[in-house]
Amino acid sequence: MQIEVVIAGFGGQGVLFAGQVLAYAAMDNNMEVTWIPSYGPEMRGGTANCTVILGDEAIGSPLVRNPKAAIVLNLPSLEKYESLVVPGGALVANASLINRSPQRTDINSVFIPANEIAESLGDRRLTNMVALGALLTLLPVLPLQAIEQALRDHLPERHRRLLPVNYEALKQGAIFAERESIEISG
Amino acid sequence: MPRELLKGNEAIAEAGVRAGVQAYFGYPITPQTELLEYMSWRMPQLGRTFLQAESEVAAINMVYGAACTGARVMSSSSSPGVSLMMEGISYIAGTEVPVVLIDVMRGGPGLGNIAPSQGDYNQIVHGGGHGDYHPIVLAPASVQEAIDLTVLAFDLADKYRTVVVVLADGNIGQMMEPAELPPMQDIRTEYPDWAVRGAQGRERRLLSSIYIDPNVEEVLNYRIMQRWNEIQKNEIRYKEYYLEDAEYAVIGFGTAGRVALSAVRAARAEGIRVGLFRPISLSPYPYARIEALANQVKVMLVTEMNAGQMLEDVQKATNGRIPIEFYGRMGGVMPFPDEILAEIQRIAHSLVPFDENPRQSWMKRHAELLGTLQGKQ
């Protein structure tokens, strides 16, 4: 079993951190996992992405052409990754910054206003956790509790006060995905 | 020790610390900068030496000087920076002092780019500095292996009074994986009998790579080659996957090796009897094992993130007994597993004889791929 997740967006949207939280949760649940960022001469506001691969045996390639799932937090990332997700896979797109509908009908997708949900919780920086919560509803590779535990165990002390609102962001993302996801048609 | 999620560059740095490195000298260069940055925090914390030199040339010569004291020392850099260090590496070899160097390879030649590559194979394994010397070269394919090989590198450097290079690439440096760090070793308190640490009360020692009399220089060369013979006998390392019943073997090191592992698994799922041979010691190279594999498998596929530098060592080992095919990506491009899978399928289902020159036939196939990619831009 191997699950590949690409998380992509603008630098500053927390795409690398969302991937790390997923990787921590996988490790803590005794899975094999790799996390690899796109790295380059990039800056805040430029594109950023990471690939997380979870599996039950030693991971081979840390990159794949066609991931099982993608979280895309902006339009350029949707343009790049929607066509690459494997048939039957999952796509979470940030509707706050993307004003078009999904084109694929052979994957499970959810278009979630992640910025608005994050802002309603008091902090736009929760966008990544809203999207991660939505993804784990479409692709239940780990329970939300595993992500919450990973945040508790690995977030630096100075950020601990933000734990409850992060849990809420994950939950709101999951609830939205439960309600609004578009299942594979045909 | 529990498993931690560690970034390759930082894991290598901490592995060096735990192996008892006493002094680190370096100069920043992507994609290894986190290694130096980590050391800039960690070494002073432990009361050890961290020094950011003004260049790679300065850094390797500082390493050279510090190594002469018998201390455990290291540096790290990436391809163009390592090119600058070559003179110093040859001097270190000629002086017979132990040094550990980490090369986190990136795309080249020239300034190139900062993406992962394996273009330093020849520079590190077959050459670089002048003169007859052979560094020990270890190629990790995961964060865990990068840790383990860094610790091993210090032991081998001491044992053989040689340069040991851990040859990683930008992918290993930037990737995070769960890994276990080794226990902290004590800093050494006893120093080897060749170290220069002040000669009060004893006869002076001299460490140098200058032997003006060629006859004396020849004796040094002979001693280095004797040691190299011992290294070739004792320090061959590799890993095999699914080779027991294999009809085909893929050979790749480091990141190319682990990408190939995904392709081999996918090919196995299709019923193709293929395995993977992953050299870990690139110097000394596992020629004998590859020669033996040539008696078992029908065809070998060498895959690298360069234009076929290790390919020539596989050809040397197999000596024309079986066809060797090649697939490479260059300039900082990492292959996806499906590219290597397609090569395995092509080989397993081929009805025509293979070209005698694997690099030429790969270049013909590659021209089509590059044409397609250009068409997409």
pLDDT per residue as tens digits for the range B126-138 = 988 999 999 999 9
Pick from A34, A64, A65: CB nearest B177: A34
Cα end-to-end distance, chain B, whole Å: 48
Note the CATH number of domain A2-98+106-180.
3.40.920.10
For chain A, the domains span 2-98+106-180
Closest chain B residue by Cα to residue A53: B177
Q: What is the pLDDT of residue B101?
A: 98
Question: Max CA-CA distance within chain A?
Answer: 49
Query: Which residues does chain B have within 8 Å of residue A27's beta carbon, measured at their own beta carbons?
Result: 3, 5, 178
Query: Structural domains in chain B?
Result: 4-234 (3.40.50.970), 239-376 (3.40.50.920)
- Whether B96 and B224 have beta carbons less than 8 Å apart is answered as yes
Closest chain A residue by Cα to residue B30: A40
- Whether B147 and B307 have beta carbons less than 8 Å apart is answered as no
Which residue is it, tokens 């190279």? B285
Residues with Cβ within 8 Å of residue A139, at least 6 apart in sequence: A3, A5, A68, A69, A89, A90, A108
Q: How far apart are the CA of B252 and the nearest CA of chain A, in angstroms?
A: 12
Closest residue by Cα to residue B354 from B303, B306, B299, B302: B299
Q: How far apart are the CA of A120 and the nearest CA of chain B, in angstroms?
A: 32
> CA-CA distances (angstroms) from residue B101 to A17, B10, B12, B60, B198?
31, 15, 11, 9, 26
Note whether B259 contacts A20, CB cutoff 8 Å: no
ipTM of model over 0.90: yes
Averaged pLDDT score across all residues of chain B = 96
A75 touches chain B (CB under 8 A): no
Strands (E), B175-294: 176-179, 238-241, 248-251, 274-279, 281-283
Query: Which residues does chain B have within 8 Å of residue A37's beta carbon, measured at their own beta carbons?
Result: 174
Closest chain A residue by Cα to residue B116: A39
Beta-strand pair B274-279/B324-328: unpaired
Site from B111, B176, B327 to mutate, A interface, most A CB atoms within 10 angstroms: B176
Pick from B171, B174, B265: CB nearest A60: B265
The region that residue B161 occupies, defined by phi over 0 for left and psi between -120 and 50 for alpha, beta otherwise, is left
Q: What is the pLDDT of residue A25?
A: 98
Please count the CA atoms within 13 angstroms of the CA of B15 that sit on its side-chain side: 28
Beta-strand pair B238-241/B274-279: antiparallel
Q: What is the pLDDT of residue B377?
A: 54
Tens digit of each residue's pLDDT (9 = 90 or more) over B181-198: 999 999 999 999 999 999
The answer, yes or no, to whether residue A43 has pLDDT greater than 70, is no
Tens digit of each residue's pLDDT (9 = 90 or more) over B269-297: 999 999 999 999 999 999 999 999 999 99
The region that residue B256 occupies, defined by phi over 0 for left and psi between -120 and 50 for alpha, beta otherwise, is alpha
How is the beta sheet containing B281-283 ordered, strand by strand?
A: B49-52, B23-26, B73-77, B99-105, B163-169, B136-138, B281-283
Tens digit of each residue's pLDDT (9 = 90 or more) over B340-364: 999 999 999 988 888 889 999 999 9
Closest chain B residue by Cα to residue A65: B336
A48 touches chain B (CB under 8 A): no
